[in-house]
Amino acid sequence: MYEIGFIGKNQPAKQDDAILGLFEFPNAFIRQAVVACRLFNTTVDAVFYDVPTLRADFFERDVVTRERSEKLPSRIIDFSALSNPEGSLLLIDEQNAPYVHQYHDVEDYLNSRHPETRQVAVATITGVGSSALGSAAFAWNISKALKQPVLAIVPGYGVADMVLQGLGGWFGFGLYDFLGAKSVTQDAIASVAPNIAAIGRKLSGSVPHARTLNGAPVYRHGSGSSDVLHALMKDRPSPFKILVGHSKGALQIGNALRSLNADKTHGVRVVTLGCPIAEDAPGAVYYQFLGLFDALGQLNMWGHWPEQWMPTWHSTNPILPPAMAAGTLVLDSPRTVPPCHQGPEALSQKPLLPKTPMRAM
């Protein structure tokens, strides 16, 4: 367990740190700004993810379970959770009540006495707003299709995310990933304003990671979600068998896998929706989907081609067609799409693709 954003007990306070602290904005002021942005991102996620099905299914189960005096974990869709900038791990099982278990600390999750935390074989990371609501809806959709538990990694949302979003990060996350701009921004803020840098970093701060001299958290694998997934893949007794990423969540999966040993990635099925990534994890099997009308996804291809083009756009919300059917694509991918195995044989396994993809205008 780590203390984030403050000079730790084992780290002597320095005069320079005290002087730098005079130039920080009040923490409460900054946190409210982050909360407001997080709430906006949650609203956006209601467009890109299957929130209507999540709400309908919870309402239906609520009617049934009231008779059993069981309390559903509706906190993932109440106001406080929607605006909370801190990340979490949501273990979602559409088949069994109470359906959602929430963890705010990676070490607590890894050391949990509940066997479900070690048995879950599917993990997801969302993109766009990356809110708790969007992450839950995306994982719920996949859990419903696969009929098994899914671990949703909900990224924290901090000041660095606000800066990049303000610069148009939604519409160029491939460029930011390539340049490492998010890490650079986070490092800069962590160096001059450690308390502010700690906002939204509780989950990623609970894994071993590099720190600045003043004790502020910084990323090791490009983002908080990548750090968390990397730690889970490395430290769990049995690695995940299926990883699903949508939008910039696919990039975060790619970053997390990049420095893992081959024994941790061999045979892992990587499914990406709306953002093809480099197929470079040793032994991993890739199934990548991109919409013909997905301008945002095409903008962030960066030379990475999907295994299959879909007549869809960037959303996975069925009430806004033509949307990607996330659960169906993950379920059917081994049967309908020729896989690409990372390695010398990859070129021979690539399916025929359109010569000229539709690009963002």
* Residue 86: partners with Cβ closer than 8 Å, 6 or more residues away: 104, 156, 200, 201, 202, 203
Look at residue 353 in the predicted model and tell me its pLDDT.
38
| pLDDT reported for residue 207 | 81
pLDDT confidence of residue 210: 55
pLDDT for res 114: 87
Q: Using one digit for the tens of pLDDT, what is the confidence trace for 202-211?
A: 777 778 665 5
- pLDDT (0 to 100) of residue 172: 56
CB 192 within 8 A of CB 222: no
- Contact predicate 201/158, CB 8 Å: yes
Neighbours of 178 (CB within 10 A): 12
Which residues, at least 6 apart from 95, have a Cβ–Cβ distance to it below 8 Å? Answer: 143, 147, 148, 149
3-state secondary structure at position 178: helix
Distance in angstroms (rounded) separating the CA atoms of residues 311 and 112 = 42
What is the C-alpha to C-alpha distance for residues 176 and 160, in angstroms, rounded to an integer? 12
Cα–Cα distance between 20 and 170 in angstroms, integer? 31
Q: 10 Å Cβ neighbour count for 159?
A: 25
Between CA 199 and CA 158 the distance in angstroms is 5
Rounded distance, CA 4 to CA 211, Å? Answer: 10
For 104-133, the DSSP string reads S-HHHHHT-S-THHHH--EEEE--TT--HH
| Secondary structure (DSSP) of 267-286 | T-EEEEES------STT-EE
State which H helix or E strand residue 135 sits in.
helix 132-146
Among 247, 233, 183, which Cα is nearest to 210's? 183
The residue type found at 344 is: P
Low-confidence spans in the chain with pLDDT less than 50: 1-23, 25, 74-75, 79, 166-168, 343-361
